[in-house]
Structure 1
Amino acid sequence: MKRGLRINGGIRAEQVRLVDDANNQVGVVTRAEALSKAQEAGLDLVEVAPNSEPPVCRIMDYGKWLYQQKRRVREAHKKTQHSSATLKEIRLRPETDKHDLQIKVGHAREFLQKGHRVQFSVFFRGRQMLHKDQGINMLNGIMDTLQDVAKIERPSMMTGRRMTLLLVPK
């Protein structure tokens, strides 16, 4: 968004290239003539290209234009935040109880229905590394319960002391 655009009386150039509110080239006119045309239309005279020779001025509603620019920036920001689905991580341990697991799976189901990606991570400590099959069984059970709302993007895999499973919405 351009800051510091000169409007109406702030325009310094004596001659300006004028573009009217319908985007038609009017031609090179004096600043006073351009200001009078803008006032006749009930709009503002805005210097849109101050570095060209002569500067380009446009007849427009400056307040409305500023509002639209801010709205475009806001919409673009919203799209960038929602375009890439957020990754939600759900952390588990091999000894996580069934009810706790059901609650976490319920949260995962909500995340998937909202369009987020969900990563389940099972953390192993110490001698728990000897029982990786518990983690595999846990993640397989999760896959079975969530298969109606999710598909597997990355199957369960072990990295260090952590076993992960990545699910995406169908």
Structure 2
Amino acid sequence: MSQPRPHHSSGSSHSFIRINGKIRAREVRVIGDDNKQLGVFPLGDALRMARERGVDLVEISPNANPPVCRLVDYGKFRYEQEKKEKEQRKHQHANKMKEVQLSATIDPHDFKVKLRHAVDFLCDDMKVKVTLRFRGREMAHQEIGMQQVEKFVQELRPWGQADYTPKLAGRNIHVTISPLPKNKRAKHPEEVEAQGPNTPPAPTQKPPPGERAAAASGNAVQIVRGDSGASAPGSAPGGNFGNNPFSQLEIKP
């Protein structure tokens, strides 16, 4: 059985978890490793049960009356707690919100940069609050700002959907976009670019016989004959083939 030691758990409501000899209650409610209640026992009996089973007595509910303890290996207990906290942080991460600010006269390049940031947030399961603020006389042309926001929402449709239609509040237009489920959400553009096109290179085509390039210098053409100098069967007089395309060319020495 492991030695008593406090455990400082991040994110838990208690500064540490008491185990074994650190438990102060006179009697405790004991839960087995299979999560079944074994009953209320004096602390000494509960420690003896843990010792016989080769596990630890871990206090999981110190504020209960009597405190609730569990017979479990402390390493296994820590693993389960960390796994639960990780799942909780994942759900809390989904509730986070990032803000992207636009303007009625935003530059197209800046628009794309803001759009890329919003895609990053949605792919990280975070909500995006889009805010457009009118400055000075821009309030006279609210339709331009509304078009910018609607265009921004439309561009993000593969990754998220608006919780409501864009609203004008004072000098601001705002809308909140929630990420789509992963099975319905498009892949991140950087992930698509990293995969790249999966097209094999085109095979090299060999030229058919009779169309091979001949070595030439200026207008001179060199004709190579065999050592015997005999004409091939079906050839024209002079050792040239009847359908030789070079038969009409002037041969220079």
TM range (shorter): 0.5 to 0.7
Determine whether 1:111 maps to 2:121.
yes
Q: 1:137 to 1:24 in 2, by over 3 A?
A: closer
The 2-side partners of 1:56 and 1:74 are apart by 20
The 5 Å alignment of 1:42-121 reads: 42-44=54-56, 60-61=71-72, 63-64=74-75, 67-68=78-79, 70-71=81-82, 74-75=85-86, 77-84=88-95, 86-121=96-131
Q: 1:81 to 1:10 in 2, by over 3 A?
A: closer
SS at match of 1:89: strand
Higher helix share: 1
Q: Is the 8 A contact 2:20 2:47 kept in 1?
A: no
Determine whether 1:161 maps to 2:171.
yes
Aligned length: 164
The 2-side partners of 1:16 and 1:139 are apart by 60
Deviation, 1:169, is: 2.5
The 1-side partners of 2:93 and 2:126 are apart by 10
Deviation, 1:102, is: 1.2
Q: Hey, what does 1:145 align to over in structure 2? A: 155
Q: Is the 8 A contact 2:125 2:179 kept in 1?
A: yes
Q: 1:99 to 1:44 in 2, by over 3 A?
A: closer
Q: Which has the higher contact order (CA 8 A, sep 6+)?
A: 1
Moved more, 109-118 or 21-30: 21-30
Determine whether 1:134 maps to 2:147.
no
CA deviation map 1:67-123 (0-9, x unaligned): 256426633642442342x22211012121111111111221222233222221111
Long gaps (5+) in structure 1? none
The 2-side partners of 1:153 and 1:57 are apart by 45
Identity in percent: 26
SS at match of 1:154: coil
The 2-side partners of 1:119 and 1:9 are apart by 49
The 1-side partners of 2:171 and 2:30 are apart by 69
Superposed CA RMSD: 4.0
Q: TM-score, normalised by structure 1?
A: 0.66
CA deviation map 1:33-72 (0-9, x unaligned): 76666544434456888965xx9887x3563365256426
The residue type paired with residue 7 of structure 1 is N
